[in-house]
Copies of this chain bind each other. A is one copy, B any other.
Amino acid sequence: MGAVTATSDDRRWMAAALALAERTRGRTAPNPNVGCVLVAAGRVVGRGWTQPGGRPHAEAMALAAAGPAARGGCAYVTLEPCAHVSPRGPACADLLIAAGVARVVIALRDPDPRTDGSGIARLRAAGITVVTDVAGDAARRSMAGFLTRRERSRPSVTLKLATSLDGQIALPDGSSRWITGAAARAHVHLERSRHDAILVGRGTWEADAPRLDVRLPGLSDRSPMRVVLSTRPPPSASAALPSSLIGRGNDPQGARDPLWIDSPAGIATLPADHVFVEGGAATAAAFLRADLVDRLLLYRAPILIGAGKAAIGDFGLGDLAAAHGRWRLLDARDLGTDRLEVYERTPCSPA
Q: Which residues of A contact B (CB under 8 A)?
A: 161, 163-168, 171-172, 175-179, 285, 288, 296, 298, 301-308, 310-317, 319-320, 323-324, 326-329, 337, 341, 343
Contact = CB atoms under 8 A, between A and B. Distances in A.
Give me the 5 closest cross-chain CB pairs, A-B, nearest first: A167-B167, A307-B314, A303-B323, A306-B315, A306-B312
B164 A163 contact: no
Given A163-B166, A165-B298, A311-B167, A306 B324 contact: no
5 contacts: A176-B320, A285-B306, A296-B304, A304-B312, A306-B315
A168 B165 contact: no
B296 A165 contact: yes
Given A179-B320, A317-B171, A320-B176, A310 B164 contact: no
A327 B304 contact: yes
A313 B314 CA distance: 19
A167 B163 contact: yes
Contacts of A337: 329
Which of A164, A311, A314, A317 has the most CB atoms of chain B within a 10 A radius of its CB?
A317
A303 B324 contact: yes
Given A166-B163, A167-B310, A343-B165, A304 B319 contact: no
A161 B166 contact: yes
Nearest to A309: B310
A343 to B, nearest CB: 6
Contacts of A168: 167, 310
Contacts of A319: 171, 175
A159 to B, nearest CB: 9
Interface of A is mostly: loop
A305 B327 CA distance: 12
A177 B163 CA distance: 24
Given A178-B320, A179-B320, A312 B343 contact: no
B307 A310 contact: yes
Given A301-B324, A303-B327, 12 more contacts: A163-B166, A165-B341, A171-B317, A302-B329, A303-B324, A303-B326, A304-B323, A304-B326, A304-B327, A305-B320, A306-B317, A307-B313
Contacts of A313: 306-307
A301 B326 CA distance: 11
Given A171-B317, A317-B171, A164 B306 contact: no
A302 to B, nearest CB: 5
Nearest to A329: B302
A38 to B, nearest CB: 40
B288 A171 contact: no
A281 to B, nearest CB: 8
B310 A288 contact: no
Given A320-B179, A343-B302, A166 B165 contact: no
Contact of A302 (B172, B177, B308, B328): B328
